[in-house]
Amino acid sequence: MTAVDLGLPKVQRTTDTSSAAGSAPRPDTPGLLDQFGRIATDLRVSLTDKCNLRCTYCMPAEGLDWMAKTDMLDDVELGRLIRIAVEDLGVTNVRFTGGEPTLRKGIADVIAATAALTPRPRISMTTNGIGLDRTAGALAEAGLDRINISLDTLDRDRFTELTRRDRLSDVLDGLAAAKAAGLTPVKVNSVLLRGINDHEAIPLLRYCVEHEYQLRFIEQMPLDPQHGWSRAEMVTADQILDVLRSAFELTPSPVPRGAAPAERWLVDGGPAEVGVIGSVTRPFCGDCDRTRLTADGSLRSCLFSQTETDLRGPLRAGASDDEIAGIWRSTMWAKLAGHQINEAGFAQPLRPMSAIGG
């Protein structure tokens, strides 16, 4: 398979959300309500589709057919859409992701502009942590509140094999820098892959407890451009919990889960916690409060959406804030009840995770 084969798909971009919206009339309410009564208040913004790692389950070694710079939203366009989301549509949490969000030049300015909005949203970022030893302080100063850092292994050789880059020490330094900069609680995201790093669940949790990071295991999802995901091979939430229970006492966290993707447990009585995001075997779509904006200006109501709504076109054609907000509301009104991974006939979305924003 070549980079061209795997490149950005010809995703169906549309501004017409009427067909998907079904027949129910949308109540006249400013928030991002859908037909199932959910209200999206958590905006995931992808800042770039590029990454400086090549995790085998996420991207091919040669990378992908990256978005053209002219297709990507510039900082002014991005700032405007985030402002509309926060000030007109009721978004209260903004998470920057990618690709690798720290590769975006001017990320601190994007964060600062977001932090200047009224009401000020909570601002977080999902990153691989590389470079944070130099930038965590500045990002915190710009207004970043919290951080999630991805780390699938503590073994240098395995890290190099899994990410195709010898950068484990950079990630560990990034974690320490994030904590020192007050980007707490620092959360660690781990994906376990059978026969590769699934024996590391216990050491990863020990490491995170010791360093006061909150570990979350994420079930592998069918979102890779290589289409390598297999239900039979994936490590399930139950399997992860069984392994952890062989070494730790896990008791359900007393904190209500709300719309959080992770189910959480106290480790050995707390205060340390571990979370498991069982998107495949324990879906939580009924409580989903997320809306997603890709780096090239497409709106997605779900990670697994088969269609997306073009905001860049209207934006560049001179649409007003009200018009953009209206398109956003219609898109979210049409959000499906669930991701359908467990339905017959499920088809993986055309965009890979790295181009949607994880």
Q: Which residues contact 246 (CB under 8 A, 6 or more apart)?
A: 202
Closest CB to ligand SAM among residues 99, 143: 99
Is residue 189 close enough to count as binding ligand SAM by CB under 6 A? yes
Is residue 215 close enough to count as binding ligand SAM by CB under 6 A? no
User: In the bound complex, which residue of the shown chain has the CB atom lying closest to ligand SAM?
Assistant: 358
Is residue 51 close enough to count as binding ligand SAM by CB under 6 A? yes
Q: Which residues contact 58 (CB under 8 A, 6 or more apart)?
A: 51, 224, 352, 353, 354
Is residue 183 close enough to count as binding ligand SAM by CB under 6 A? no
Q: How far is CA 351 from the centre of its chain?
A: 14
Minimum separation from the CB atom of position 162 to ligand SAM (A): 10
Is residue 330 close enough to count as binding ligand SAM by CB under 6 A? no
- Tokens representing 218 are 């994420």
In degrees and rounded to multiples of 5, residue 255 shows phi and psi of -75, 125
Residues 331-350 that bind ligand SAM (CB under 6 A): none
Is residue 224 close enough to count as binding ligand SAM by CB under 6 A? yes
Minimum separation from the CB atom of position 276 to ligand SAM (A): 12
Positive or negative, the CA dihedral 228, 231, 237, 239 is negative
Among residues 17, 97, 114, 294, which is the contact residue for ligand SAM, using CB under 6 A?
Answer: 97
Residue closest to 289 by CA, chosen among 27, 22, 33: 33
Is residue 163 close enough to count as binding ligand SAM by CB under 6 A? no
Closest CB to ligand SAM among residues 285, 319: 285
Is residue 305 close enough to count as binding ligand SAM by CB under 6 A? no
Closest CB to ligand SAM among residues 93, 330: 93
Is residue 153 close enough to count as binding ligand SAM by CB under 6 A? no
Q: Distance between CA atoms of 65 and 56, rounded to whole angstroms?
A: 16
Q: What does the angle CA 159 – CA 44 – CA 148 come to, to the nearest 5 degrees?
A: 35
Residues 110-149 that bind ligand SAM (CB under 6 A): 126-128
Is residue 354 close enough to count as binding ligand SAM by CB under 6 A? yes
Minimum separation from the CB atom of position 324 to ligand SAM (A): 25
- The secondary structure of residue 258, as a DSSP letter, is T
Is residue 100 close enough to count as binding ligand SAM by CB under 6 A? yes
Ramachandran sector of residue 129 (left: φ over 0; alpha: ψ -120 to 50; beta: rest): left
Minimum separation from the CB atom of position 158 to ligand SAM (A): 14
What is the chain's percent helix, strand, coil content, to nearest 5?
30, 20, 50
Minimum separation from the CB atom of position 234 to ligand SAM (A): 9
Within 13 A of 102's CA, how many CA atoms are on the CB side?
23
